[in-house]
Amino acid sequence: MRDVPHELGDAFYAGQRGDLVRFCINDSVEILGGPYAGLGGAVISIESITPEVMLLVELGSGSDVIVLQDSLRFVE
């Protein structure tokens, strides 16, 4: 979370979604593109916000991957 402002990180961990970061801790997601397309997992942390928002996702297998926010879909 090198380039993540403190207030964005606090909101993320408090379960508050926003315009810039549309997911929060433990949101269930499906990956829509890239090498992990079709896999599901849970959002763990914000890795970066510039130049694009990238999130750390723990896959169902237990592996962690960094994914562009725009490649994620919220799963209820």
What is the mean predicted confidence (pLDDT) over 26-34?
A: 96
Residue 2 above 80 pLDDT? no
In the chain, where the domains are located: 6-74
Half-sphere exposure (CA, 13 Å, Cβ side) for 11? 13
Q: Please check whether residue 37 is in contact with residue 28, taking contact to mean a CB–CB distance below 8 angstroms.
A: no
Residue 3: the pLDDT is: 79
Architecture of the 6-74 domain: Roll (2.30)
User: What is the DSSP annotation of 23-69?
Assistant: --TT-EEEE-SSTTTT-EEEEEEEEE-SSS-EEEEEETTS-EEEEEG
